[in-house]
Amino acid sequence: MTAASPSTRRLALLLAGLAMFGPFSIDTIFPAFPQLAQRLGVDEVAVQQTVSVYLLFYGLMSLAHGPLSDAWGRKRVILGGLVVFVGASVGCALSTDLTTLLMFRALQGLSAGVGMIVGRAVIRDLYHGHDAQRLMSQVSMIFGIAPAIAPIIGGWILLSGAGWPLIFWFLVVFSLLLLVATARFLPETHPVAARTPLSPRGLVRDYLRIGSNPRFMRLALAGSINFGGIFLYIASAPMFVMQHLRLGEGGFAWLFIPTIGGMTAGSFLSGRMAGRTTPTRQVSIGFICCAVSAVLNIAYVATAPQLALPWAVLPIFIGGLGMALIFPILALAVLDMYPHQRGLASSLQAFLQLMVSTLVAGLVSPLLSHSPLQLALGQAAFFAVGFVFWYWEHRRERDQEALRVAAGGPP
């Protein structure tokens, strides 16, 4: 297949849709936090557990999705995850107390990551080099719509007079459509001859081997921590939108559209840059955008007496653009390190990213979200630490190349 063929465009749409129901599960319920607290008889801090529990189990199960797909095939594992997600969403919609809701949110988390994690392995199974970067960028560009429209959909559902359970019924319908589309259109990209046996002992050994690889960890943490700077604002959306921007339940679009707009623009540029600039240069440009975003953000919130649109979200747009330039390069570099265990490598990469996101949602956001300046400083810190890991790896590779040239080897 070529990067412009109809089947490739259809595959990009399908893989993006499979990745979407993960963020849909988080972002659609943000506008419903006050109603959930009232209807379930708890405070909004307790309602925040619906995100933390989801992310925790999402992260834990992300370690299994990839190895399962390495052993049983990509398509079968994705279909199984979708079936579980449909059942979990029905359970959430029918929940009448917080404990039951948290139980089904955990089940959602266990299944929601299958599309994104296994989907990355599907891309690398089918494509190489610049074609893989283009498809990864196309998927990221389409997928980027989800966090932007999810809270808008949740807000519209609530503004229509429907209760919070209808948000989960929406997820049921969406995941059923994906189930049908996957069964019909997704090819099996991991043939039986290439599959690896699944054993708990071998799985632990492989994770320890990959997790102890310094190059893998530097690349994976560079991307995961950099994304943490963007996710800090996503996790802090209720406080940022309703208190700092002083908007209502329908105002989440003012945060999410610029955020995801930047990510979509960055993904588009990444696809256009494939084959025209080196991966190293593209990542460097991405981190420059993140640095500009951080400086503008801190300067604005430190001097503005009251946050105002669009200036309060413009730096977030620039940061999202930079992050989207960085992510495809680092994700593919990680997968290329283990061509026979791409599912497992994708799982560990996703696990690290979700652990960072869980830390942000459960600890960093509650500590910083009460202050716009502290949010801006927190975002800058995530961007800076991500850059340190990237520069560490880039400098190591550059030094090794210099040694090869000095020894008379190829550059």
Residue 379 has pLDDT above 90, yes or no: yes
pLDDT value, residue 1 = 45
How many other CB atoms are found less than 10 A from the CB of residue 305?
5
Tell me phi and psi for residue 370, to 5 degrees. Answer: -75, -10
Residue 4 has pLDDT above 50, yes or no: no
pLDDT value, residue 6 = 39
Tokens describing residue 256: 């999410």
Rounded Cα distance between 87 and 94, Å, is 11
pLDDT value, residue 112 = 86
Rounded Cα distance between 120 and 321, Å, is 20
pTM for this one? 0.73
Tokens describing residue 23: 């963020």
Closest CA to 135 of 326, 40, 274: 274
Q: What is the pLDDT of residues 275-323, one digit of tens each?
A: 788 888 889 999 999 999 999 999 999 998 888 888 888 999 999 999 9
Which DSSP string do the residues of 247-287 spell out, in sequence order? --GGGTHHHHHHHHHHHHHHHHHHHHHBTTB-HHHHHHHHH
Share of the chain above pLDDT 90, in %: 20
**SS3 label, residue 189:** coil
The shares of helix, strand and coil residues in the chain, as percent rounded to the nearest 5, are 80, 0, 15
Find all residues with CB under 8 Å of 239, minimum gap 6, and list them. 365, 369, 370
Residue 37 has pLDDT above 60, yes or no: yes
Q: What is the pLDDT of residues 355-374, one digit of tens each?
A: 888 788 878 888 888 888 99
Answer whether 95's CB lies under 8 Å from 104's CB.
yes
Closest CA to 140 of 370, 329, 280: 329
Q: How much is the average pLDDT of 57-81?
A: 84
pLDDT value, residue 249 = 63
Alpha helices (H) along 360-411: 365-368, 372-406
**Chain center to CA of 193:** 31
- CA distance to 65, 194, 291, 334, per residue, from 124 (Å): 16, 14, 30, 11
Enumerate the domain spans of the chain. 9-406
Closest CA to 226 of 256, 278, 266, 253: 266
- Local confidence band at 2 (pLDDT 50, 70, 90 cut-offs): very low
Name which residue leads in pLDDT, 142 or 83: 83
Residue 408 has pLDDT above 70, yes or no: no
How many other CB atoms are found less than 10 A from the CB of residue 208?
10
Which DSSP string do the residues of 187-254 spell out, in sequence order? ---S-GGG-----HHHHHHHHHHHHT-HHHHHHHHHHHHHHHHHHHHHHTHHHIIIIIS---GGGTHH
Tokens describing residue 136: 């990864």
Residue 5 has pLDDT above 50, yes or no: no
Q: What is the pLDDT of residues 384-396, one digit of tens each?
A: 999 999 999 888 8
Average pLDDT, the chain: 83
Residue tagged 């990355």 (tokens)? 120
- Local confidence band at 268 (pLDDT 50, 70, 90 cut-offs): confident
Share of the chain above pLDDT 70, in %: 91
Rounded Cα distance between 256 and 147, Å, is 7
Rounded Cα distance between 26 and 52, Å, is 10
Q: Which of 111-115, 123-127, 173-177, 395-399 has the largest mean confidence?
A: 173-177
Q: How much is the average pLDDT of 17-25?
A: 81
- CA distance to 175, 305, 390, per residue, from 78 (Å): 11, 49, 31
CATH of 9-406, one of 3.30.70.330, 3.40.50.620, 1.20.1250.20, 3.40.50.720: 1.20.1250.20
**Chain center to CA of 258:** 16
Tell me phi and psi for residue 277, to 5 degrees. Answer: -145, 160
Rounded Cα distance between 106 and 101, Å, is 9
